[in-house]
Amino acid sequence: MSLELKEVSISLHGRPLVPPLSASVGPGEVLVLMGESGSGKSSLLAFLAGLLEPPLVGTGRVHLGGRDITALPTERRRVGLLFQDDLLFPHLSVRDNLLFALPAGDRTARIARADAALQRAGLGGYAARPPASLSGGQRARVSLLRALLAEPQALLLDEPFSKLDAALRGRMREFVWAELQTQQVCAVLVTHDAQDVPAGAQVIELPPGVAVGPVADDV
Protein backbone atom coordinates (compact mmCIF):
# COMPACT_ATOMS: atom_id res chain seq x y z
CA MET A 1 0.00 0.00 0.00
CA SER A 2 1.35 3.42 -0.81
CA LEU A 3 0.64 6.75 0.80
CA GLU A 4 0.07 9.79 -1.41
CA LEU A 5 0.02 13.40 -0.32
CA LYS A 6 -1.68 15.67 -2.85
CA GLU A 7 -1.14 19.41 -2.39
CA VAL A 8 -1.26 19.03 1.38
CA SER A 9 -0.75 22.29 3.25
CA ILE A 10 -1.22 23.54 6.80
CA SER A 11 -2.21 27.03 7.88
CA LEU A 12 -2.45 28.73 11.22
CA HIS A 13 -5.01 31.51 11.72
CA GLY A 14 -5.19 31.76 7.93
CA ARG A 15 -1.43 32.17 7.53
CA PRO A 16 0.43 29.41 5.67
CA LEU A 17 2.58 27.23 7.94
CA VAL A 18 3.41 24.36 5.58
CA PRO A 19 3.30 25.21 1.85
CA PRO A 20 1.45 22.84 -0.51
CA LEU A 21 3.29 19.55 -0.62
CA SER A 22 2.88 16.47 -2.80
CA ALA A 23 4.71 13.19 -2.30
CA SER A 24 4.24 9.47 -2.61
CA VAL A 25 5.67 6.72 -0.40
CA GLY A 26 5.59 3.07 -1.46
CA PRO A 27 5.40 -0.09 0.72
CA GLY A 28 8.45 -0.42 2.95
CA GLU A 29 9.65 3.04 1.98
CA VAL A 30 10.21 6.03 4.24
CA LEU A 31 9.44 9.69 3.58
CA VAL A 32 11.47 11.93 5.89
CA LEU A 33 10.29 15.40 6.91
CA MET A 34 13.02 17.65 8.27
CA GLY A 35 12.93 21.27 9.33
CA GLU A 36 13.32 23.68 12.20
CA SER A 37 11.06 23.73 15.24
CA GLY A 38 7.79 25.39 14.31
CA SER A 39 8.07 24.48 10.64
CA GLY A 40 4.92 22.37 10.89
CA LYS A 41 6.41 18.85 10.63
CA SER A 42 4.40 17.44 13.50
CA SER A 43 1.28 19.32 12.38
CA LEU A 44 1.63 17.64 9.01
CA LEU A 45 1.73 14.24 10.72
CA ALA A 46 -1.34 15.20 12.73
CA PHE A 47 -3.14 16.06 9.50
CA LEU A 48 -2.21 12.71 7.98
CA ALA A 49 -3.50 10.96 11.12
CA GLY A 50 -6.71 13.01 11.24
CA LEU A 51 -5.73 14.62 14.54
CA LEU A 52 -5.15 18.24 13.47
CA GLU A 53 -7.05 20.64 15.73
CA PRO A 54 -7.96 24.33 15.43
CA PRO A 55 -6.49 26.88 15.09
CA LEU A 56 -4.43 24.75 12.68
CA VAL A 57 -6.19 23.94 9.42
CA GLY A 58 -5.07 21.44 6.79
CA THR A 59 -6.01 21.30 3.12
CA GLY A 60 -5.22 18.91 0.28
CA ARG A 61 -5.96 15.20 -0.08
CA VAL A 62 -4.38 12.11 1.44
CA HIS A 63 -4.71 8.74 -0.33
CA LEU A 64 -3.72 5.42 1.20
CA GLY A 65 -3.72 2.32 -1.01
CA GLY A 66 -5.71 4.26 -3.56
CA ARG A 67 -8.54 5.30 -1.22
CA ASP A 68 -9.06 8.88 -0.13
CA ILE A 69 -8.73 8.94 3.68
CA THR A 70 -8.75 12.72 4.10
CA ALA A 71 -12.22 12.86 5.64
CA LEU A 72 -12.08 9.56 7.51
CA PRO A 73 -11.98 9.57 11.33
CA THR A 74 -8.60 8.64 12.77
CA GLU A 75 -9.66 5.17 13.93
CA ARG A 76 -10.73 4.18 10.39
CA ARG A 77 -7.68 5.46 8.53
CA ARG A 78 -5.38 2.53 9.33
CA VAL A 79 -2.55 4.96 9.94
CA GLY A 80 -0.33 4.21 12.94
CA LEU A 81 1.48 6.85 14.95
CA LEU A 82 4.59 6.65 17.13
CA PHE A 83 5.65 9.50 19.40
CA GLN A 84 8.88 10.43 21.17
CA ASP A 85 7.43 8.79 24.29
CA ASP A 86 6.33 5.17 24.15
CA LEU A 87 2.86 6.00 25.58
CA LEU A 88 2.30 2.41 26.66
CA PHE A 89 -0.80 2.28 28.86
CA PRO A 90 0.74 2.03 32.33
CA HIS A 91 -2.13 0.09 33.95
CA LEU A 92 -2.03 -2.69 31.33
CA SER A 93 0.59 -5.42 31.03
CA VAL A 94 2.90 -5.49 28.02
CA ARG A 95 0.75 -8.24 26.47
CA ASP A 96 -2.50 -6.35 27.17
CA ASN A 97 -1.03 -3.28 25.50
CA LEU A 98 -0.50 -5.38 22.37
CA LEU A 99 -3.93 -7.01 22.66
CA PHE A 100 -5.49 -3.55 22.79
CA ALA A 101 -4.06 -2.93 19.32
CA LEU A 102 -4.76 -6.29 17.68
CA PRO A 103 -7.89 -6.50 15.53
CA ALA A 104 -10.85 -8.28 17.14
CA GLY A 105 -10.94 -12.06 16.89
CA ASP A 106 -10.38 -15.31 18.75
CA ARG A 107 -8.83 -14.54 22.13
CA THR A 108 -6.37 -17.43 22.12
CA ALA A 109 -5.19 -16.61 18.62
CA ARG A 110 -4.74 -12.96 19.55
CA ILE A 111 -2.70 -13.82 22.63
CA ALA A 112 -0.55 -16.19 20.56
CA ARG A 113 0.02 -13.43 18.02
CA ALA A 114 0.99 -10.88 20.66
CA ASP A 115 3.37 -13.36 22.34
CA ALA A 116 4.92 -14.30 19.01
CA ALA A 117 5.57 -10.63 18.26
CA LEU A 118 7.21 -10.19 21.65
CA GLN A 119 9.30 -13.32 21.08
CA ARG A 120 10.47 -12.02 17.71
CA ALA A 121 11.51 -8.72 19.31
CA GLY A 122 13.49 -10.51 22.03
CA LEU A 123 10.92 -9.65 24.70
CA GLY A 124 9.44 -13.11 25.18
CA GLY A 125 9.70 -13.09 28.97
CA TYR A 126 8.07 -9.72 29.44
CA ALA A 127 4.48 -10.35 28.37
CA ALA A 128 2.94 -10.24 31.85
CA ARG A 129 5.17 -7.43 33.10
CA PRO A 130 4.01 -3.82 33.56
CA PRO A 131 5.51 -1.37 31.06
CA ALA A 132 7.21 0.55 33.87
CA SER A 133 9.43 -2.47 34.62
CA LEU A 134 10.97 -2.41 31.12
CA SER A 135 13.97 -0.39 30.02
CA GLY A 136 13.52 2.59 27.69
CA GLY A 137 14.65 0.58 24.68
CA GLN A 138 12.37 -2.32 25.51
CA ARG A 139 9.40 0.01 25.91
CA ALA A 140 10.18 1.67 22.58
CA ARG A 141 10.17 -1.75 20.90
CA VAL A 142 6.87 -2.72 22.51
CA SER A 143 5.42 0.59 21.38
CA LEU A 144 6.45 -0.12 17.77
CA LEU A 145 5.09 -3.68 17.99
CA ARG A 146 1.80 -2.32 19.29
CA ALA A 147 1.55 0.11 16.39
CA LEU A 148 2.33 -2.60 13.86
CA LEU A 149 -0.02 -5.21 15.36
CA ALA A 150 -2.94 -2.86 14.58
CA GLU A 151 -2.07 -3.69 10.95
CA PRO A 152 -1.66 -0.09 9.77
CA GLN A 153 -1.12 0.57 6.09
CA ALA A 154 1.12 3.52 6.93
CA LEU A 155 3.13 4.44 9.98
CA LEU A 156 3.82 8.01 11.12
CA LEU A 157 6.94 8.42 13.25
CA ASP A 158 7.19 11.65 15.24
CA GLU A 159 10.84 11.80 16.32
CA PRO A 160 10.58 8.32 17.84
CA PHE A 161 14.33 8.02 18.51
CA SER A 162 14.99 11.44 20.01
CA LYS A 163 14.64 10.38 23.66
CA LEU A 164 16.84 7.29 23.36
CA ASP A 165 20.55 7.33 24.15
CA ALA A 166 23.01 7.16 21.26
CA ALA A 167 23.77 3.40 21.44
CA LEU A 168 20.12 2.44 21.82
CA ARG A 169 19.05 4.82 19.07
CA GLY A 170 21.12 2.97 16.47
CA ARG A 171 19.70 -0.43 17.45
CA MET A 172 16.14 0.93 17.54
CA ARG A 173 16.51 2.47 14.07
CA GLU A 174 17.62 -0.89 12.67
CA PHE A 175 14.71 -2.62 14.42
CA VAL A 176 12.15 -0.14 13.05
CA TRP A 177 13.43 -0.17 9.44
CA ALA A 178 13.60 -3.99 9.47
CA GLU A 179 10.02 -4.28 10.77
CA LEU A 180 8.75 -1.81 8.17
CA GLN A 181 10.51 -3.78 5.44
CA THR A 182 9.18 -7.10 6.71
CA GLN A 183 5.63 -5.88 6.97
CA GLN A 184 5.87 -3.71 3.84
CA VAL A 185 4.40 -0.69 5.62
CA CYS A 186 5.14 2.77 4.26
CA ALA A 187 6.26 5.39 6.78
CA VAL A 188 6.60 9.14 7.26
CA LEU A 189 9.36 10.11 9.68
CA VAL A 190 9.74 13.50 11.32
CA THR A 191 13.23 14.13 12.66
CA HIS A 192 15.86 16.76 13.39
CA ASP A 193 18.70 14.25 13.21
CA ALA A 194 20.21 13.41 9.81
CA GLN A 195 21.46 10.12 11.25
CA ASP A 196 17.87 8.97 11.61
CA VAL A 197 17.35 9.06 7.84
CA PRO A 198 17.44 5.53 6.39
CA ALA A 199 19.34 4.81 3.19
CA GLY A 200 17.33 5.53 0.06
CA ALA A 201 14.65 7.53 1.84
CA GLN A 202 12.99 10.57 0.27
CA VAL A 203 13.79 13.68 2.29
CA ILE A 204 11.68 16.85 2.30
CA GLU A 205 13.09 19.90 4.05
CA LEU A 206 10.26 22.11 5.28
CA PRO A 207 10.86 25.86 5.21
CA PRO A 208 10.83 27.74 8.54
CA GLY A 209 7.24 28.33 9.62
CA VAL A 210 5.51 30.24 12.37
CA ALA A 211 6.39 28.93 15.82
CA VAL A 212 3.07 27.96 17.35
CA GLY A 213 4.08 26.23 20.54
CA PRO A 214 3.11 22.82 21.73
CA VAL A 215 0.24 22.16 19.33
CA ALA A 216 2.46 22.08 16.30
CA ASP A 217 5.53 20.84 18.10
CA ASP A 218 3.97 17.99 19.98
CA VAL A 219 1.18 16.70 17.81
Residues that bind another protein (CB under 8 A): 49-51, 73-81, 83, 85, 87, 89-93, 100-101, 103, 129-133, 146-147, 150-152, 156, 218
Q: Closest separation between CB of residue 129 and another protein, Å?
A: 8
Q: Which is nearer to another protein, 16 or 162 (CB)?
A: 162
Instruction: Output the CA torsion sign for 171, 172, 176, 179.
Output: positive
Q: Which is nearer to another protein, 94 or 172 (CB)?
A: 94
Instruction: Return d(Cα 214, Cα 155) in angstroms, integer.
Output: 22
Instruction: Return d(Cα 97, Cα 99) in angstroms, integer.
Output: 6
Residue among 142, 94, 147 nearest 121 (CA)? 142
Helix axes 94-101, 107-120, angle to 10 degrees: 120
Q: Which is nearer to another protein, 145 or 206 (CB)?
A: 145
Q: Which is nearer to another protein, 38 or 80 (CB)?
A: 80
Q: Closest separation between CB of residue 1 and another protein, Å?
A: 15
Q: Which is nearer to another protein, 8 or 134 (CB)?
A: 134
Q: Closest separation between CB of residue 208 and another protein, Å?
A: 25
3-state helix, strand, coil in the chain (%, to 5): 35, 25, 40
Q: Closest separation between CB of residue 141 and another protein, Å?
A: 15
| Beta strand extents in 47-97 (DSSP E only) | 56-64, 67-68, 79-82
Instruction: Output the CA torsion sign for 125, 95, 178, 188.
Output: negative
Q: Closest separation between CB of residue 194 and another protein, Å?
A: 26
